[in-house]
Amino acid sequence: MQSFRTELENPLVQKDILELEQKIRAFKEGAVPEEKFRSLRLARGVYGQRQQGVQMVRIKLPYGKMTLAQWKRIADVSDEFSTGNLHLTTRQDIQIHFVSLDRTPELWSLLEEDNITIREACGNTVRNVTASDIAGIDVDEPFDVTPYAHAIFEYFLRKPVCQEMGRKFKIALSSSEKDTALIFMHDLGVIPRIKEIDGNIQRGFKVVVGGGLGAQPHLAITTHEFLEEYLLIPYIESVLRVFDRYGERNSRHKARIKFLIQQIGIDAFNELVAGEQKALTDQSVAIDSNRFDEIIFPGGTLPDEKTEIKNPLNFEIWKKTNVKNQKQEGYHVVYVRVPNGNISSDVSRRLIQKLKPVIADDIRVTINQNLLFRYIKPEHLEYVYSVLEAESLAAAGYGSTADIVSCPGTDTCNLGISNSTELSTVLAQLIEDEFPEFLLNDDVAIRISGCMNSCGQHGIGTIGFHGSSMKVKGKVVPAVQVLIGGGNLGSGEGRVANKVIKLPSKRAPEAIRVLLNDFKRNQENNESFLDFTFRNGERYFYNLLKPLADTETLAAEDYIDWGQEEKFATAIGVGECAGVMIDLVATLIFEADEKINLAEESITNGAFADGIYQAYAAFINAAKALLLNQQVQCNTQVGILKDFDEHFTAKGLYNDHSGFRELVLQINQNEPTGQFAKTYLQEAKTFIEFANAFKGSAILN
């Protein structure tokens, strides 16, 4: 592997990239354990694929925004390092696949030339901060949440409190009470509100916490109906500190914040959050709400050639479904349906070149894997449509029943059970061919995941499918679990879909036919499909679909998954969605030493709160190492403190303080001053010395 050097100006970015290159080399030389290396690369956006020897690289686009130059840069990078495909995700990221591990530092450095990062796009970190794609142009918004989303992204990037949590943490900001960012399914979500206080208009947010999908969905719980804007970031830090300290770390399937809240209750959780107040980095954070007011409007001239539309009727439907008014008078937004979220680098470059004169330099990736163009004048809509039509991207029905969300499934994911992308394609075509009226329906949302983990968000689909399998007469049949009745109720409220029945995968299209035809026949008073499902209940849909579950009538093709030619066989690998657990004693002690060095650096630079938290992490890592070596299994960080006192302090093995827990939890009893930071760091250093001495003693042997 050749040594790589970056010429980037940002020293933090440069350090990140060089560290990744050095760790790759150390891993290949056997100096870094695989578990430790996996954790490190995940936090730098490098994710293992189903295919051995190649990586998926996730590109982090805060709230889905990219400039035209950034879009072109990503396309060029995909050509050089990947397959020329850009995959748009429900987290408003872009993923590229089949990347060589050795080349990831170079790839990252090229992205950073246009200020694009992959840092903390994966792993047990604060993931990409998502937001409504129409933030800033939404006719219903009380104010633009874009500056707040960006401030959250910047504030917590590389923040010590959220680098090694028990699981990932997802934040979303909606632009209005319509909740187009779906905050109800997030670890933490906010909706902007305004309130008159003492005669002045105050900005603030409704705040919810503890939402999530996966195999056990949970709806978020409201903690604030109105939290002042300057308290938003400090509140998020408090939540992250509690999650880091009290969250599950042994069983990753129970390690999301929703499980912590279920375990201790929302009142106890709120008390813990309030208990972190004194120790926060900042008691309030002012956010420049005008930061993104300046819009780079399109200013070019259209090509001389005459605009030609091949399908005028579709153009009229497209204008109804894919074109929306902005709050800025005289401008429209255009949504582009991107099948399965996949768009090639060649198509991307052609769109950039042809549309640059008529769209703003502000492209958004949407949470349903599509693209949004802004600030388009009415007289340019025909031209925009003709460009999209030439690239086969002019499908009408954005946000409709035909606009299906799906994860990559078995195409690239280790956890995929069945093929979700081909099924999505088949169902979208079925809607367009047999139910064209549903191109105008935006309340029937079909969502497909390749497994139960809900990356395709099947758990909130009005109709959802997730990949599964069935055993029939000793043979394995690809199957889908059908879910009915999930959806967005607005204002941070939602409904989780009910599991109804499992069917052979090849019968999913017929299930859609049955469901939609039944809805058309039995709908009352123009009720929505969501209301229809609520009125009829789970058993109604089970009986409706039960004939399709009859396995006595299976044909040969039913044993072959969508998009495949061979008989189906389950082949599930080890997922990396949640990172890994590292229980190696030597590695933990080594990491404690690293945390001490980082703490010293932070305190020297005046980042006292960060330095204190890094010293805290050093305490935790070293104590965990000693406990594990005594065959004491560790779970939460607060559990480590308790167990250390029980197995070391109480037994006289540790005598420096009367209580280790009391010593370490000084972290949330003191303001992050320079004096406390230095004192706390020295205590951590002393404990690391004890841990190192104990590790080498006869007691440990």
- Tell me the pLDDT band of 81, cut-offs 50, 70 and 90: very high
pLDDT at 578 > cutoff 50: no
Same domain? 623 vs 649? yes
Cα→Cα distances 409→124, 222, 453, 465, 496, Å: 21, 33, 11, 12, 21
The answer to whether 192 and 183 have CB atoms below 8 angstroms apart is: no
More confident residue, 365 or 307: 365
68 shares its domain with 199: no
The predicted pLDDT at position 580 comes to: 39
Output 415 or 564, whichever has higher pLDDT: 564
The better pLDDT of the pair 38, 170 is held by 170
Provide the number of structural domains found in the chain: 5
Question: What are the two backbone dihedrals, phi and then psi, of residue 166, each rounded to the nearest 5 degrees?
Answer: -65, -30
555 and 409 part of one domain? yes
Residues 6+ apart with CB under 8 A from 422: 562, 563
Question: Stretch 7-31: mean pLDDT, rounded?
Answer: 81
Residues 411 and 545 in one domain: yes
Do 439 and 539 lie in a common domain? yes
**Same structural domain for residues 440 and 550?**
yes
pLDDT band at 9 (very low <50, low <70, confident <90, very high): low
Q: What is the mean pLDDT of residues 454-483?
A: 89
Decide if 377 is inside a domain: yes
Longest dimension (CA), the chain: 87
Question: How far apart, in whole angstroms, are the C-alpha atoms of residue 119 and residue 100?
Answer: 18
**Is the domain of 432 the same as that of 379?**
no
Of the candidates 390, 415, 449, which is a domain's last residue? 390
Residues 147 and 93 occupy one common structural domain = no
Residue 569 lies in a domain: no
- Which of 525, 559, 593 represents a domain boundary (last residue)? 559
* pLDDT for the residue 252: 77
Q: What is the pLDDT of residue 3?
A: 37
Domain of 690, CATH number, reads 1.20.120.330
Point out the domain boundary residue: 256, 279, 302. 279
CATH, residue 34: 3.90.480.20
- CATH number of the domain encompassing residue 479: 3.30.413.10
Measuring CA to CA, how many Å separate 424 from each of 433, 461, 508?
A: 14, 13, 10
**430 and 531, same structural domain?**
yes
Average pLDDT of the chain is 90
Residue numbers of the domain that contains 481: 405-559
For position 19, what pLDDT does the model report? 84
Pairing of strands 130-131, 171-173: parallel
Paired sense of beta strands 332-336 and 65-66, if any: unpaired
Residues 160 and 80 in one domain: no
